[in-house]
Amino acid sequence: VPYIDQRLLRNGMILHAQTKGFFGRAIRWALKSWGNHDALLYHEAGSWWVCDAEPPVARLTPWGEWERRMRRGKCQLRFYWPYGAIQMDGNVAVKWWLANVRNAPYDKTAFPRLLWRAVIGPWWKSQAGKDHAWWCTEGVRGAWKFAGFDVWKHNNSTPLDTEEAVGVGGLDDCTDSVLGLIETN
């Protein structure tokens, strides 16, 4: 049984998820990626929250919802942290997300251009959607870019770009230390 060691979580840590629903599978199929969702972790008043840009609006999801999904087999999770970042950088990223992405509409108008990018490649340089709306990875990238860590390096970032950023100079995969297993006998 997997569990999350919450003592190892940090403000701004990137939650990279593989969800089992139709849209999650469709996104992974189009991108040819392991995951289909990115979010930031946020600690406030003794509780962990997930900074989720999901339809219809970007919001804070209680950590317990993601943990229940994982325990029920509805998702798998990975945890990433930008190389060279310190806790203060994570705090800056989260504060930016809360001020700029939270309560904004989900950017569903970007999907045709993102699908085109998945098929043709990342040659489309301009922003795919609306300036006032966000999709998951776009909000995560914006937050960390503001904090000084743009490991995605281009507009229209997707969960595949997050996966490609894992490695030296990009994102550190903290999954093995954050995820543990409870042995049941």
Query: Which residues lie below 8 Å from residue 141, measured CB to CB, with a gap of 6+?
Result: 150, 152, 157, 161
pLDDT-derived band at 31, boundaries 50, 70, 90: confident
Angular region, 154: left φ>0, alpha ψ -120 to 50, beta rest: beta
What is the structure's pLDDT at 182? 52
Give me the phi and psi of 79, to 5 degrees please: -130, 125
Average pLDDT over residues 9-32: 93
What is the structure's pLDDT at 117? 56
Hey, what are 176's tokens?
A: 């093995």
CB 35 within 8 A of CB 163: yes
Regarding predicted confidence, which is higher, 130 or 75? 75
Q: What angle do CA 46, 106, 21 make, to 5 degrees?
A: 80
Q: For 132-162, what is each residue's pLDDT tens digit?
A: 578 899 999 999 999 999 999 888 788 999 9
- Paired strand residues for 44: 47
CA distances from 28 to 13, 21, 37 (A): 22, 11, 9
What is the structure's pLDDT at 169? 84
Q: What is the mean pLDDT of the chain?
A: 87
Give yes or no for residue 97 having a pLDDT over 90: yes
CB 139 within 8 A of CB 146: no
Burial 90-116 (b: 16+ CB within 10 A, else e): bbbbbbbbbebbbebbbbeebeeebee
Other C-beta atoms lying within 10 Å of the C-beta of residue 161: 20
Cα separation of 135 and 151, whole Å?
17
